[in-house]
Structure 1
Amino acid sequence: MEWLEIKDNKDIEKLLYIFGGFHDSCLKELYMWTESYVDDNLSMSPVPDTNVRILFQRQYSNPSAIELLFKGVAQFHIVPSPENYDSIIYDATLILHKGLFYWANDYNWEPENSMLTETSWLSAKSLKWRDVSSWMGKENRYGIISDL
Structure 2
Amino acid sequence: MKAIKISMLALALGLMSFSVLPTDKISTEKVTPVAGITWKSETVDVGTIPQGTPKTIEFEFKNTSDKSVIITNVKPACGCTAADYTKEPIAPGKSGYVKATYNAAAAGSFTKTVTVTTNADATPKVLTFKGTVQAKA
Same fold judged by TM-score > 0.5? no
| TM-score calculated relative to the size of structure 1 | 0.28
Q: Which has the larger radius of gyration?
A: 2
| TM-score calculated relative to the size of structure 2 | 0.29
